[in-house]
Amino acid sequence: MLFRTERIERIIKELKELTYSESISLEEIKIKEGYYHTIEEVDNSNNPWIDFKCHDRWGLTDKNSWFRLEFIVPEIMEGKKLVHRVETGNKSWESKNPQFIIFINGELIQGYDTNHNETVLTECGKAGDSYVIDLQGYSGSEDKLSECKHTVAILDSRVEKIIL
């Protein structure tokens, strides 16, 4: 019985690794410090947009920032289900960790936290289509800096159905 359980766990782990393919790291990210309710408010703010590189950190205690990036679907992702993912380097869910509200092409989509860190960009990618991704970020209540790494990946719906 133990052998069967271990085998099932190994198969599930291997399937999870197959869920995403062709992941692209998004590295041209802008950040604007401050608390903004809407995209219009952040665009009208006099605070400057600053380049946020893939190894940069943000946050500290109770800080608000706005992130913006653009993704253009490459040919390799044509016809595929695409998801945007964000990683902060924090693995446990607690209110002290970073949280986000995500907008895609100006439309409010959902909230992000440690356990909810991806959203579907499109069910069927079309090469050349552009997605502007805005995130209203809250750093959390802990005095630490966090990552803000963005990727777009192909999500294999067949594998997703099996493991979820």
Question: CB of 89 within 8 A of CB of 55?
Answer: no
CATH class of the structural domain 2-163: mainly beta
Mean pLDDT of 30-44: 94
Task: Look at residue 152 in the predicted model and tell me its pLDDT.
Answer: 94
**pLDDT > 70? residue 5:** yes
Question: CB of 11 within 8 A of CB of 136?
Answer: no
- Give the pLDDT confidence of 103-149 residue by residue, as tens digits: 999 999 998 877 778 899 999 999 999 999 999 988 877 777 777 88
Task: Look at residue 22 in the predicted model and tell me its pLDDT.
Answer: 84
Instruction: At 124, give phi and psi (nearest 5°).
Output: -150, 95
- Give the pLDDT confidence of 42-95 residue by residue, as tens digits: 999 999 999 998 788 888 788 899 999 999 999 999 999 999 998 877 766 666
Strands (DSSP E) found in 4-148: 20-26, 29-33, 50-52, 58-59, 64-72, 82-87, 99-104, 107-112, 118-122, 130-138, 145-146
- Sequence-ordered list of residues with C-beta below 8 angstroms from that of 115, at least 6 positions apart, any chain: 93
User: How much is the pTM?
Assistant: 0.84
